[in-house]
C-alpha cells in the first residue's frame, strides 16, 4: 500500500472496487487518503492539541452530540464509554486545529467509518484529510461547494435518467434539498454499513473529491456522482415509480425513505 499514495495503481484500484478486506481497511484508508503521510509530517501535533483544554462553547456541543452520532454502532453506544471518550478527544482536537471551522455536526460522521481502534492520531489525521482534501468547502458557512456539486449533479441526471430529471424539475425540487445529507455525510447516514464501507473504499482510492460517486466511463472521472445517480434512477426513473410521487411532498418522502433493495451492497456495487 505504500506505493499507492498518488496515484493508486491499477491493481490497488481494482482491489478497492472489489472491496478492501476488513482486516486491512483501516490501514489501507490511511495510505489511500494520505493521512499516514500527514501524521508523519506532524509528529506530536495531535498530542499537543489533545493536552489543550479546548473552547468551552464547542466542548459543550460535542458532549451533547456524542450519544447521537452513532446510536447503533457498538463502539459508541455506551455513554462515557471508551468509544465516546476517544471520539470526544478527536473532535476537540479538530476544533483546535481548525478554529475557523469550529464544530460541525456533519463531518464527524466520517469517523465512524474509520476504526478508532487503530489509534486516535490516525483517526484525527484521516478526518483532516477528509475535510481538507476530499470535501473542501463542504462545511463552510455558505456551503458553496455543495451548491456547485448540486448543479453538476442535476445536469448529469438529465443524461442518466431523463424521467427522474423531468420529474424533479416539474416539482421544483432543488438538488440541495435531497443531496446535502448524502454528500456531506458521504452516505454514512443513508446506506447500510456494509454499503458505506464499499463506497468509502473507492472514496479514498480516487484522487478527486467524492470520487466514489464521481466516475462514469463516458464522463470525466471528476464530474460524476455514481451512487447518487443510481439512487435517483432506481427511485424516480420510471413512470411506475412515479405513481406514488405525484407531489413535492411525496417525492421528498420517497427520497428520504429509499428502497432497502437499491441500498444493499451487492445491488449498489453492481449498478455503480
Flag the least confident range among 70-79, 147-156, 257-266. Answer: 70-79
- Indicate whether 230 pLDDT > 50: yes
Give the CA distances from residue 222 to residues 151, 164, 213, in Å, rounded to whole numbers and listed in that order.
14, 22, 9
pLDDT at 142 (0 to 100): 74
Rg (CA), the chain: 19
- Indicate whether 244 pLDDT > 60: yes
- Indicate whether 208 pLDDT > 50: no
Pick the closest to residue 182 from 236, 258, 98 (CA basis). Answer: 258
pLDDT at 165 (0 to 100): 97
Average pLDDT over residues 120-144: 83
pTM: 0.80
Flag the least confident range among 23-27, 79-83, 124-128, 238-242. Answer: 79-83
pLDDT at 73 (0 to 100): 56
Residue 156 near residue 225, CB atoms below 8 Å: yes
- Indicate whether 237 pLDDT > 90: yes
Spatial distance between the Cα atoms of 175 and 190, rounded to a whole number of angstroms: 16
Q: Give the confidence band of 144 by pLDDT, cuts at 50, 70, 90.
A: confident
pLDDT at 38 (0 to 100): 93
Local structure of 101: helix, strand or coil: coil
- Indicate whether 7 pLDDT > 70: no
> Which residue would you say has higher pLDDT here, 232 or 24?
232
Q: Helices 162-170 and 226-236, interaxial angle, to 10°?
A: 80
Average pLDDT over residues 62-67: 77
Spatial distance between the Cα atoms of 126 and 77, rounded to a whole number of angstroms: 22
pLDDT at 259 (0 to 100): 94
Using omega within 30 degrees of 0 as the cis cutoff, is the peptide bond preceding 107 cis?
A: no
**148-203 per-position pLDDT tens digit:** 889 999 999 999 999 999 999 999 999 999 988 888 878 888 888 889 888 888 88
- Indicate whether 212 pLDDT > 50: no
Average per-residue pLDDT in the chain?
81
pLDDT at 107 (0 to 100): 57
Q: Give the confidence band of 214 by pLDDT, cuts at 50, 70, 90.
A: very low
Q: Which domains does the chain have, with CATH numbers?
A: 7-134 (1.10.8.270), 144-271 (1.10.472.80)
pLDDT at 146 (0 to 100): 84
- Indicate whether 99 pLDDT > 60: yes
Q: Give the confidence band of 222 by pLDDT, cuts at 50, 70, 90.
A: very low
Residue 190 near residue 258, CB atoms below 8 Å: yes
Alpha helices, DSSP H, located in the chain: 10-18, 22-33, 35-41, 45-51, 56-69, 82-97, 120-129, 144-160, 162-170, 176-184, 193-205, 226-236, 239-242, 248-256, 260-263, 265-271
Amino acid at each position: 500500500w505504500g506505493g499507492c499514495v498518488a496515484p493508486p495503481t491499477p491493481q490497488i484500484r481494482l482491489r478497492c472496487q472489489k472491496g478492501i478486506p476488513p482486516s486491512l481497511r483501516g490501514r489501507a484508508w490511511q495510505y489511500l487518503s494520505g493521512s499516514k503521510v500527514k501524521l508523519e509530517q506532524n509528529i506530536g501535533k495531535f498530542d499537543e492539541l489533545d493536552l489543550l483544554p479546548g473552547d468551552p462553547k464547542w466542548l459543550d456541543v460535542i458532549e451533547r452530540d456524542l450519544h447521537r452520532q452513532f446510536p447503533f454502532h457498538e463502539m459508541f453506544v455506551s455513554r462515557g464509554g471508551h468509544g465516546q471518550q476517544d471520539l470526544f478527544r478527536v473532535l476537540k482536537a479538530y476544533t483546535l486545529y481548525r478554529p475557523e471551522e469550529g464544530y460541525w455536526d456533519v463531518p464527524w460522521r466520517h469517523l465512524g467509518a474509520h476504526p478508532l481502534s487503530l489509534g486516535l492520531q490516525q483517526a484525527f489525521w484521516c478526518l483532516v484529510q477528509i475535510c481538507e482534501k476530499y470535501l473542501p468547502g463542504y462545511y463552510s458557512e455558505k456551503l458553496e461547494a455543495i451548491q456547485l456539486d448540486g448543479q453538476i449533479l442535476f445536469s448529469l441526471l438529465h443524461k442518466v435518467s431523463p424521467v427522474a430529471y423531468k420529474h424533479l424539475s416539474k416539482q421544483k425540487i432543488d438538488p440541495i434539498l435531497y443531496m446535502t445529507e448524502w454528500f456531506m455525510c458521504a452516505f454514512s447516514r443513508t446506506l447500510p454499513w456494509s454499503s458505506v464501507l464499499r463506497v468509502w473504499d473507492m472514496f479514498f482510492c480516487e484522487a478527486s473529491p467524492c470520487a466514489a460517486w464521481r466516475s462514469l466511463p463516458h464522463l470525466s472521472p471528476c464530474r460524476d456522482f455514481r451512487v447518487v445517480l443510481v439512487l435517483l434512477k432506481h427511485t424516480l426513473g420510471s413512470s411506475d415509480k412515479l405513481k406514488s410521487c405525484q407531489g413535492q411532498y411525496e417525492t421528498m418522502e420517497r427520497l428520504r425513505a429509499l428502497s432497502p433493495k437499491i441500498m444493499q451492497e451487492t445491488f449498489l456495487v453492481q449498478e455503480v
